[in-house]
Amino acid sequence: MKRLEGKIAIITGASAGIGKASALLFASEGASLGLIDINLDGGKEVCEEIRKNGGKAEFFGIDVSNPEAMKGAFEAVADTYGGIDVLYNNAGGATPRDDYILKMPLDEFDHAIGLNLFGPLLGCRLAIPYMNQRGGGSIINTASIRSMIGTPGADAYTAAKGGVVTLTRALALQCAAQGIRVNAIAPGAVLTERVKKLMEQDNDSGPTQDMIEKHLLGLGHPQQVATVALFFASEDSNWITGQVLPVDGGASVH
């Protein structure tokens, strides 16, 4: 039997990188999917690929920090497939003007919090009632190794991801009695298209080279994080909640 057979999962940030890899993997393991991303073209392509391979998927081109749009998407997934069992809050990322707090525009902090913390909070708020109806579920949040070790020049992102860690633990305490597990993945640097572009701009020197050297096992690939998300989504992790797992090639050892 497939590991997510009969399960209904929502994945945010599903158009590329870790989210895309997770969507394809979850679908191959039998999940019916609701895919959310602000990138319309990329999200539609992932959805179509899943359907061509015989899977079930619906795509919603929305901003994860928009309460009404998110509510509509969650309702549509539940109406189409019969509920929600798994939520993977994967959408997020560094924002363009993030910096040391004395240099960063204040509206950039709002942007980073909206994308990286309010979005996951909103997703959890919407998913938990559906999971209660089905007798339990699994929530997976995307944190970052930056939430654990701190990184200069990314104060808004670091603060937001730190909030994801503590939100994960708080919800684990409050949802366990309903059979809902809440865990987080803290990825290191993963070779998504965005990271590859940053590396090209840096010409293998400076901050990027330092980042590479800190990852003892090299930089990661989206599929390596997706397999961990699958573990948390499946019954293989049915005795684990409230945990934050670094998936970082050893970078957080430093």
DSSP letters, 21-77, are HHHHHHHHTT-EEEEE-S-HHHHHHHHHHHHHTT-EEEEE---TT-HHHHHHHHHHH
- Closest among 163, 27, 154 to 101, alpha carbons compared: 154
Strands ordered across the beta sheet of 244-247: 56-60, 32-36, 8-12, 86-89, 137-142, 180-187, 244-247
Residue scoring higher pLDDT (206 or 178):
178
Q: The tokens 């895309």 sit on which residue?
A: 20
DSSP letters, 131-143, are HHHTT-EEEEEE-
Cα 150 to the chain's mean position, in Å?
A: 19
| Model pLDDT, residue 203 | 59
- Closest among 184, 167, 187 to 241, alpha carbons compared: 184
Residue scoring higher pLDDT (206 or 97):
97
| CATH code assigned to 8-188+225-243 | 3.40.50.720
Residue 68's contacts (CB-CB under 8 Å, 6 or more residues apart) are: none
Q: Respond yes or no: is residue 157 known to be catalytic.
A: yes
- The one catalytic residue in 81, 88, 130, 157 is 157
CB atoms < 10 A from the CB of 185, how many? 25
Does the structure show a pLDDT above 80 at 14?
Answer: yes
Q: What are the beta bridge partners of residue 142?
A: 185
| Model pLDDT, residue 204 | 54
Q: The tokens 């991801």 sit on which residue?
A: 161
CB atoms < 10 A from the CB of 85, how many? 24
DSSP letters, 158-189, are HHHHHHHHHHHHHHHHHHGGGTEEEEEEEE--
Q: Three-state SS for 132?
A: helix
Does the structure show a pLDDT above 80 at 102?
Answer: yes
Backbone angles phi, psi at 77, to 5 degrees: -65, -45
pTM for this predicted structure:
0.95
88-100: pLDDT as tens digits: 999 999 888 899 9
**pLDDT range class, residue 133, cuts 50, 70, 90:** very high
What is d(CA 156, CA 121) in angstroms, rounded to the nearest whole number? 17
- Tokens for 61, please give them: 């081109």
- Tokens for 39, please give them: 């990138």
Low-confidence winner among 20-29, 103-112, 127-136, 170-179 (lowest mean pLDDT): 103-112
| Model pLDDT, residue 202 | 61
| Model pLDDT, residue 209 | 73
Q: Give me the chain's average pLDDT, please.
A: 94
26-47: pLDDT as tens digits: 999 999 999 999 999 999 999 9
Cβ–Cβ < 8 Å for 172, 241: yes
CB atoms < 10 A from the CB of 74, how many? 23
Taking residues 187-199, report their average pLDDT.
Answer: 81
